[in-house]
Every structure is written in C-alpha cells, then in structure tokens.
Amino acid sequence: MNGGTILEGKDLKVRRGGRLLLDVPSLSVAEGEVLSIIGPNGAGKTTLLQALSGLLRLGEGMISFRGKRVGADISPLEYRRHLAMVFQEALLFDATVYANVAAGLRLRKVDKREIKKIVAARLEQFGINHLRDRAAKTLSGGEAQRTSLARAFAVKPQILFLDEPFAALDPPTRESLLEDLGRVLREGGTTAVMATHDQGEALRLSHRIAVMQEGRVVQIGTPAAVMNHPVNEFVAAFVGVETILAGRVVKYERGTATIAVTDGNGGTAGVTVDTTVGEGAAPLKAEQVWPPPVPQEERSGGQKDEVPSFRTGAGERKNDDSKAPAFIAAAGEVREGEKVFCCLRPEHVTITPGPCPARSSARNTFPMVIDRIVPAGPLYRVQARGAFTVTAYITVQSLEELALREGATVTASFKATAVHLLRRG
Amino acid sequence: MEVIIAGIRQALSMLVSFDPEVMAITWLSLKVSGTATLISLFIGIGIGTAVALSSFPGRQLVVSLINTGMALPPVVVGLFVTIFLWRNGPFGYLEILYTPTAIIIAQAIIATPIVMGITLAAMQQLPRKLRLQILALGATRLQMVWLLIKEAKLSLMAAVMAGFGGVISEVGASIMVGGNIKGYTRVLTTATVMETSKGNFDLAIALGVILMLFAFAINLVLTRIQQRERPQ
C-alpha cells in the first residue's frame, strides 16, 4: 500500500423498483490496497462492486478514478480500460485458453507479439501454461477460474474487481487459487476490491474489510478492527463472533468493566437466567464468579436508572438464591449502568473438563455443561451452557484427551481482554 | 409402383447427365433463396441482437410479434407482396412482380423473423454477466455486441440453416410473386408443383430428390458443426 487514493465513490445510490439497493455516502480505495466487501447474500456487495467499476448506471453519486470524475473527466470506456473484473462464474469465451487470456489485449488492439509475451507470462503465473491450447469449454472449474484471473491480470489493471471469485470452487481448489491470487496481488501491488461472503478469504487477502448490510457499509476498517471490534451485533455475528451476550455494566474500574449478563439471545436484557445447570453440576453460586455480585441493597438503591436491575424479568423481581446472573469482566470504555453486548470469539474460549475450583479467584471462569459437539472442518465446535451459552473450537486431539462429551461438566474461561463490548440501545 | 420406379430411374439419369433445365432451375433456386437468406441474416441478427440486449416499454409485445412471425404462412406473405408490387400497388412502379427479385423479397420476409427469433433466443441464453465481463475487459459497445454474436455463433448457424431451409422449400409465395415463368422465375418447388400437375412424374421426382438433397446437406453441416463443438 502506498496510500494515495486511487478510487473514490461518493453518494452512491442505486434504486430498483423503488427499493434502495445501494446507499453508500462515501468509500475510497487506496492505491495498492486490497479491500474486501463482506456481507450476507443480498447485502449489496455485487451492486457496490458494479457501481464502483462503472458497469452499473448509478441513480445518484459519482466515481472518481485518480481524482478524475468518471463520465466527466474521463469516459466510462477509458475508466473500464484501467480495470479488470473476475466474477464467480469464469465467463470464458468459447475459444482456447490462450485466446481467452488475450481477449482484453485484443480489444485494446495491442501488438500481436506483445500479446504473445504478456499472455505467456500470465499463463505461467497462474500455472496454466499446459492448458494454453485447450478449449475453454473443456476446463474444470478451478482451471477456468485460473484462466479468468489470468485474463484479468493480462491487461495490467490498475484496479481489479473480484466478485465472489472462489464461491463456486471446491475447498482444495479454492485454497490453492486463494494462495496464488494472494501471491500475484502482493507481487504486483495491485489494488483490488473483492466481494465475498467468506470472512476467511477476506482476512487472508485484505488490508481493509468493509461489512455491508442492506445496501449500506456498516463498518470499514482493518481486519483486526472489524473482527475484534465489531460496531454492532450484526457485524459481530457475521464476522464469526459466536457468543454475543446481552448485559449491563454494573461496575467500571480502571479500564475493567464488570458486566452482569443474561442469556445469549440479545435483547432479553434484564431476564434472570436459570443458572442451575444439568444434573451433576453444581448450581452456579454468586461466589463462584468473579467479581462477587453487587449487594442487593446497592442494586435496589436510589439511582434506579444507572444501577441495573438485572435480576428482574418484565418488572418482576425474584429473590431466589439459586438463580443469579453471571458476571463477566471485560476490558473496554464503558460507563456503569450502560447496556452492552459482550462479544466473544470462539477461539478465545478455553474449555477444561471438570467443575471450577471452588472459590476460584480467576476472572471469567464459569461452570458449564456441554450442550452440543459438532464437527466443523478440522475442529469441533463445542457449545456449552451455564449461566449463558458459549461456543468454542477444540481440536480432535483435545476432545479425546479431555474426554469431552455432550452432558459433561466443564469449565469455560476466557480473558477479560478477549471480550469485546458493544453498546446497545 | 412402376411409375415411381421409372420416375426415379429417369430422375437419376437427369441428375447424372446434368440435364440443363434441371440445373438452371436448381441454380436459380440457390441464388434466390441464398440472397433472401443473406438479407434476412443482416436484418434478423441485427434486430434480434438489439432486442435481446435492450429493454424498452413494449419489448414483450415485440418479442411475441417476432415469435409469431416465425410461423408466418408463405401464402400470406405472397399475397401481401403481390398486392404491394401489383401494377396499381404502392410499389407497382418498380415493375418487379413476376421477377426473381420479387421472390427474393418474399422469401426474405419469410426468413427474417425465423432468423430474428432464433437470434433473440440465442442471445438471451448467454449469461447476463457475460456482457458485464466483456465491458470490464475494456470493450466498446460495438466490440461487446460483436463478441456476444461470436459467442452465440452456434445458435446463429442454426438460424442460417433454419432460414435457408424454410425458404428453399417454400412454394406458396414463390409461385404467387414469381409466376413460375420458365427459364426466368421457375424454381425447384414451383417446378415440382407444375410437373406433378402435368403428370411428368420423372421430372418432378428429379426436382424433389434435389430438394431433399439440399435438406440433407443442410442438416449434415449443422449436425457436424454442433457435434464438433460439443465439449468432450
């Protein structure tokens, strides 16, 4: 990345049948940057990509390429000749691999010998030299996508747009292509904008990630910022924060907040959680969690609005001692009394077998019972339920060594710094 | 039965000996129908592509009109072309009724909707995103249309064959606007009709065999192209 803005979109709006498909007030791409646009299907990723690449007529707004307004200072054709695009489908021409890779250059009327040289280099770069004379129709999905990438890179694009380029490929093919694309992008310092619904792809390739929801960019930032500090619940859920707990800040001291949490289902704040876990497990006592709960008197004291009444459900107060909220320590900037979501990524949760040591002084250590164990790729996804539900990933080896099974009593723990706090309305 | 066998024998000898009358009729047929098909290709592929790639109010209606046109009865075309070219008609001053030109016009009118309809369907079958891909490769609008036509070339080949096959075997319009004048506007189909009605089965069979050879040759070429292009 060398910083200068290469592409800028302002007030991008696209309407279809009265519905606003895209509403992006401002977005800029720096030279040499790889920007990923992530979001669920229908969030507007493709629309944004097509708007930025000048392939879609905008309802409103403007695109500037190196400070020149597309359609005013430079023609759409001139702009298009500075970029390239790769779609989910390879969209190859009914011709040989060579002819396909040469297509963009032929449209630009590049000299034949020059074309030969460039195409040969690109075929080599994407490892498809041996397919040179094959008919595009006879290629496998991965080979076709390699050809499509080689075709895009052949025109030396100043910006490369990628619209879910790997979505239709099987995992091993996707893996090797992802690797190659990453290498070629780095080698050439090519600016790229990629739409994907796979956050793993985005993490691997991008300098920045933009998260889209309903036609808007709701967050844009470095992968670490987006992954670890999602701006809202939607982003958190989408980027893979699997545990999102609704709670209230009951104490805030020296950068560490104590959050009284209820269930993981956001929005049910204030509902008392049944902390009696399955048979064999000791009910969660207030003393077992850190920090000790705020005494009842304090909680029901004068400043009713600032002090959470986290034990009330629908205005009804319960005084059952077997039911208590769980308290989570979290690092963050919040005020006492604020309603928050605690976001916890599965890789930050540790599961150990057996009940918690009694009167454990460790922060964020909770007795739980394993609810479900589901294979998830090379790992197992373990869901444990206690005062709340957490999700963790565990290797097969650990699973066997720790003799974890559904219904087993375990202790879940995580660091205060692993908890990301989101304010909620 | 004897009539048929004798007719076939006679027909074969006419073909083998390159009977001048049969050859002249065949040549005229090829010339007229070939020209008509060529005209229909320009108009049909042009308009078919334009309709396929654009959206405008009433497009649906235009598409159904084109599809209806594909089944236009040749006699109806013959009727209207005759009216238009009639001495007192709007184009009567051209004085081309009962000339090969009139047949070409009528046949072009028959073939155009066929070519247009197949082109339209073929272009619409191309992936929508292919257009964007071509534009993103840096194509001008014209280059894009050309590349799309090239992509649809197999289907367009079918359009050519269907158009040519339709007009070379058509008889109604040719006889109405051409008049089946010996040595001038007599084509394979009109000659076959006349010779049959005169009882000259041998000549009629010879002409019929040539027509069938054309049909066979067209299909052979088409099939070979399609089989060659089929992915392995």
Mean per-residue pLDDT, A253-258: 86
Determine whether B196 is exposed, middle or buried from the number of CB atoms within 10 Å of its CB (0-12, 13-18, 19+): middle
Yes or no: say if B162 and A105 are a contact pair by the CB < 8 Å rule.
Answer: no
CATH annotation of A243-423: 2.40.50.100
Segment A170-194, tens digit of pLDDT: 988 998 998 899 999 988 899 999 9
Which pLDDT score, from 0 to 100, does residue A157 have?
95
Q: Do B136 and A137 touch (CB under 8 A)?
A: no
Nearest-CB residue to A107 (from B130, B139, B150) = B139
Is residue A367 over pLDDT 90? no
Q: Is there a contact between B137 and A91 if contact means CB atoms under 8 Å apart?
A: no
Å between B127 CA and nearest CA of chain A: 8
Interface contact flag, A83 B136, Cβ < 8 Å: yes
Query: pLDDT tens across B43-62, in order?
Result: 999 999 999 999 899 999 99
Contact B136 A161 (CB under 8 A): yes
Asked whether the predicted pLDDT for residue A106 surpasses 90, the reply is: yes
Greater confidence, A392 or A310? A392
Distance from CA of A104 to the nearest CA of B (A): 5
Partner-chain contact B136 A85, CB within 8 Å: yes
pLDDT at A145: 95
ipTM (interface predicted TM): 0.80
Which residue carries 């250059």 as its tokens? A105
Give the residue extent of every domain in chain A: 5-238, 243-423
Q: Give the A:B interface size as CB pairs under 8 Å.
A: 54
B140 touches chain A (CB under 8 A): yes
Is B130 near chain A, with CB under 8 Å? yes
What average pLDDT does range B21-48 have in this prediction? 94
State the DSSP H helix or E strand holding residue A237, giving kind and residue range, or none if neither: helix A233-238
CB-CB under 8 Å, B153 with A107: no
User: What is the architecture, at CATH level 2, of domain B2-229?
Assistant: Orthogonal Bundle (1.10)
Q: Is the pLDDT of residue B144 over 50?
A: yes
Q: Which residue of B has its CA nearest to A95?
A: B151
Question: CA A341 to CA A243: how far, in whole Å?
Answer: 10
Q: Cβ A104–B130 below 8 Å, yes or no?
A: no
pLDDT by residue (tens digit) across B189-220? 999 999 999 988 888 888 888 888 888 888 78
Three-state SS letters, A136-150 = HHHCCHHHHHHHHHH
Record: contact B132-A103, CB cut-off 8 A: no
CB-nearest partner of B129 from A89, A135, A161: A89
Per-residue model confidence as pLDDT tens digits over A42-68: 899 999 999 999 998 887 899 999 999
- Does residue A75 belong to the interface with chain B, where contact is any CB pair within 8 Å? no
Q: Do B153 and A94 touch (CB under 8 A)?
A: yes
Pairing state between β A34-38 and A208-213: parallel
Report the mean per-residue pLDDT for chain A: 81
* pTM (two decimals): 0.74
CA–CA min distance A203, chain B (Å) = 26
Per-residue confidence at A285, pLDDT binned at 50, 70, 90? very low
Q: What is the mean pLDDT of residues A214-233?
A: 86
Kindly give the residue spans of alpha helices, DSSP state H, lying in chain B.
Answer: 2-16, 20-53, 59-69, 74-85, 100-125, 128-136, 141-151, 153-168, 172-178, 188-198, 201-229
Mutate to test the interface with A, among B132, B134, B137 (most CBs of A within 10 A): B137
Q: Where are the domains of chain B?
A: 2-229
CB contacts, 8 Å: A155 with chain B? 137-138
**Residue A84 · residue A157 · CB < 8 Å:** yes
**Confidence category of residue A159, pLDDT binned at 50, 70, 90:** very high
With a cut of 70, say whether residue B16 has pLDDT above it.
yes
Indicate the pLDDT class of residue A201, thresholds 50, 70 and 90: confident
Q: How confident is the model at residue A22 (pLDDT cuts 50, 70, 90)?
A: very high
Interface with chain B: mutation pick from A74, A94, A148, highest number of B CBs within 10 Å: A94
Q: What are phi and psi of B61, to 5 degrees?
A: -65, -45
Q: What tokens appear for A254 in the block?
A: 């020296």
Q: Say what percent of chain A tops pLDDT 90.
A: 41
Average pLDDT, chain B: 90
Least Cα distance to B14 among B197, B161, B213, B209 occurs for: B209
- Tell me which chain A residues have a C-beta less than 8 angstroms from the C-beta of B154: 94
Residues of B in contact with A94 (CB under 8 A): 150-151, 153-154, 229
User: Does position A84 have pLDDT exceeding 70, yes or no?
Assistant: yes
Average pLDDT over every residue of A351-380: 80
Q: So what's the pLDDT on residue B142?
A: 93
For A401-415, the pLDDT digits (tens) are: 888 888 888 999 898
Minimum CA–CA partner of A135 in chain B:
B231
Closest Cβ–Cβ partner in A55, A137, A138 for B135: A55
**Among the CATH numbers 3.60.20.40, 3.30.470.20, 3.40.640.10, 3.40.50.300, which is that of A5-238?**
3.40.50.300
